[in-house]
Amino acid sequence: MLRTIGNIIDAVLVRGNVTTTAAGLYTDTVMKSWVNDAHRWAAGFSKWPFTEGRYSTTFTGEETPYPEGWKSDSIRYLEIGGERFKKVLFQTYKMYREDVSNGEDKIYSDYVRTIFVNTLSGATGTMTVYGQYTPAEMDTSLPSSTTVFSDAEDDGNEAIVEEILRYSKIREGKYDEANVHHTRAIDILTNIRERTAGEQFGYQSHETGMWSRVDILGGEYYSDALKRDQWY
């Protein structure tokens, strides 16, 4: 079972038919460096559900730095003091602040990893954002350390093994074999991404307001009648 750094390194050495002392190519230092590189690559391959994050801080002014380690332009939801703000294009935000000097709309945007919030909205208190973070480097000194895939999608660790095998084949000058391993790694991660996306049909929007659209002939709400995969 591929779960820990130790498991991953052992799998690479066995499948590559190498030892940590072979020609000085596969030292512990090299292997641990490759684990980190492959893990960073696989973790950033897609906006995985298991790298979604939440960050809270005290709202102090119009400009707030992006949370450390978060992906650029990845904030999807922002609230201050429990009040929701609407994300708009940066140029739209700047034009609004210029054209409506006393505007109180609850809007925000971001630019060059800085969050811009309309301070005239009157919101105060804690600002909470939801978005996507980049996993920190792994502690390779502990063989029992796990990856971002270990508790979510274990087969992602298989992609990490394949990517490390790619690195080893490049070092040996076996570029065709390296490409084969890289393709396998991409295929594994693509399958995980497609599988995850396939489950998202279960998320439904919730319409607010007084009125719902009704199918007069069928006698039911459109939201009840129209469902994905309803014929299966």
pLDDT given at position 94: 96
166, pLDDT greater than 70: yes
Q: Average of pLDDT values for 29-49? A: 92
Show me where the domains of the chain are located: 5-44+153-198, 49-132
Distances (CA, A) of 55 to 48, 77, 158, 184: 17, 11, 30, 35
pLDDT given at position 200: 67
pLDDT given at position 28: 86
What would the pLDDT profile of 185-205 be if each residue is shown by its tens digit?
Answer: 999 999 999 988 777 666 666
Residues 6+ apart with CB under 8 A from 97: 103, 118
Mean pLDDT over each residue of the chain, to the nearest integer:
86
pLDDT given at position 221: 46
Which pTM does this prediction carry? 0.76
Residues 6+ apart with CB under 8 A from 131: 52, 53, 55, 67, 70, 71, 74, 75, 76, 77
